[in-house]
Amino acid sequence: MTVMAERFAHPAFLYRGTDEYLSGIIPFVLEGLAAGESVAVAVPTPNLALVRAGLGVLAKSIEFIDMTEAGRNPGRIIPGVLMAFANAHPGPVRLVGEPMWAGRSTVEAPACAQHEALVNVAFQGREDVSILCPYDMEHLTSSVLADAFRTHSVLLNAAGTWSSEAYAPEDVVAEQNLPFPAPISPVIFEFDVASLSAARHFATDNGLLLGLAPERVEDLALAVSELCANSVQHGQGRGVLRLWSEGGFVVCEVSDEGHIADPLAGRRPALSAEPGGRGLLLVNSVADLVRIRHRPDGTTVRAYLEQ
């Protein structure tokens, strides 16, 4: 299964069962090692053990990353897993990245599709990176698999390789900008530069009332602080904060009149020489899920923290 080419490669690997999983991933990894490439395997916890066992003594040459932790929030995967590894290793690199697994919630699945579409943007022009994305044909839904066909130009399975006729990552990104459903009985706080501290206290007090675990309150406080500060700086100096409980999460939403032009906002690794641009990156680092919607009159960001 040779997928390294003279341009960025990002194929989807469609598998059924353990044997097919290993028959696709192990050769991909071994090809990288044989070519002198740096290799990382970022997959869910149970599959890490399978790949380690399949590689035997060669496993010590691979960097293993638990995607259920590092990629719990799909918004973390590009900066914290893929780019972090690619930028840390000179020369060609290849990664196995499995962002979607059975058990992801219905609110997480679209975020994973958006992530896969944006991988193509993030690595555009990188001729030294190859990322293989496994998809479980037996346990993932038909809609998740359809999104895999739309976000990967090349598809692989045990029988061979072919081009995806459904490839349209820009459509996937556009569909992720449909209006949010209305929040469920939110508490609301309107803020400006003079009330940023009050917004933070409003969030932490209500987060606890909504069932957020005490150890997550500081994460909520940081997320709200960064989002509200962004609104003051880029959203006409004011915004609206809403909080509510939904599907096992406490959700904080910040809406303002600003606009985010960069589709990779919050997904670019921070550069020490750049003083700004870290707000959404920090929110992605503490939240379990972050969704952004661009409205004609502004922007809405939702951060989800598991209760």
1 — pLDDT class (breaks 50, 70, 90)? very low
5 — pLDDT class (breaks 50, 70, 90)? very low
Q: Which pLDDT tens digit goes with each residue over 222-247? A: 999 999 999 999 999 999 999 999 99
Residue 153: phi and psi, rounded to 5, are -75, -20
Q: Which pLDDT tens digit goes with each residue over 73-125? A: 999 999 999 999 999 998 899 999 999 999 999 999 999 999 999 999 999 88
Number of residues that make up the chain: 307
Q: Which pLDDT tens digit goes with each residue over 15-60? A: 999 999 999 999 999 999 999 999 999 999 999 999 999 999 999 9
Residue 244: phi and psi, rounded to 5, are -160, 170
Domain ranges of the chain: 12-175, 187-306
Please, what is the average pLDDT of the chain? 94
Alpha-carbon span 128 to 86, nearest angstrom: 9
pTM: predicted TM-score of the whole model, two decimal places: 0.93
Quote the Cα angle for 131-269-156, to 5°: 10
Reduced to 3 states (helix: H, G, I; strand: E, B; else coil), residue 203 is: helix
State whether CATH 1.10.3210.10 applies to domain 12-175.
Answer: no
pLDDT tops 60 at residue 4: no
Tokens describing residue 244: 């509510």
> What b/e sequence results for 12-50 when a residue is b if at least 16 CB atoms lie within 10 Å of its CB, and e otherwise?
bbbbeeeebbbebbbebbebbeeeebbbbbbbbeebbee
pLDDT of residue 94: 97
Q: Which pLDDT tens digit goes with each residue over 151-207? A: 999 999 999 999 999 999 999 999 988 899 999 999 999 999 999 999 999 999 999
Of 286, 298, 191, 283, the C-alpha closest to 234 is 298
In a 13 Å sphere around the CA of 161, the CA atoms on its Cβ side amount to: 11
Alpha-carbon span 8 to 225, nearest angstrom: 37
Of 134, 190, 175, 176, the C-alpha closest to 11 is 134
pLDDT of residue 85: 97
Alpha-carbon span 244 to 107, nearest angstrom: 15
pLDDT of residue 270: 78
Domains 12-175 and 187-306 belong to one CATH topology = no
**Which position has the token pair 């899920």?**
289
pLDDT of residue 3: 42
CA separation, residue 228 to residues 75, 188, 191, 241, 242 (Å): 19, 13, 8, 8, 11
Superfamily of domain 187-306: Histidine kinase-like ATPase, C-terminal domain (3.30.565.10)
Strand bridging mode 238-246 / 298-306: unpaired
